[in-house]
Amino acid sequence: EIVLTQSPGTLSLSPGDRAALSCRASENLGNDYLAWYRQKPGQAPTLLIYGASSRATGIPDRFSGSGSGTDFTLTISRLEPEDFALYFCQQYSISPYTFGQGTRLEV
């Protein structure tokens, strides 16, 4: 199965800062089938990005996704208080669909 490695494990920033989260796949993701999720404490994950760079419905434009092949990045341009949470990437190129272990964004 495809293994997704996210880095860093924890990212410490302040509101208003720019954040860059990395997700590296063990194999090339055909069609750039990669999604990003944000999970606030005690809540279910929320889809942010699909297809590596397409924002999901209702997601603000401070979130952007980039990358292709095996290296992908989620960028948050100006951190809001609600953005301090756990972020996961997920590939849907090849079954089984797998998730990364997460990056925790903390104040």
For the bound state, the minimum distance from the C-beta of residue 8 to another protein, rounded and expressed in Å, comes to 15
Q: Does the protein bind another protein through residue 2 (CB under 8 A)? A: no
Among 72, 85, 90, 105, the residue binding another protein under the rule CB under 8 A is 90
Q: For residue 50, give every residue at least 6 positions away whose Cβ sits within 8 Å of its Cβ, in sequence order, or none.
A: 34, 35, 56
Q: What is d(CA 17, CA 7) in angstroms, rounded to the nearest whole number? A: 18
Q: Which of residues 5-64 bind another protein (CB under 8 A)?
A: 33, 35, 37, 43-47, 50-51, 56
The Cβ of residue 27 has, within 10 Å, a number of other Cβ atoms equal to 13
Residue environment code for 3-12, b if the CB has 16+ CB neighbours within 10 A, otherwise e:
ebebeeeebe
Size of the site for another protein (CB under 8 A): 22
What residues make contact with another protein under the rule CB under 8 A? Answer: 33, 35, 37, 43-47, 50-51, 56, 88, 90, 92, 95-102
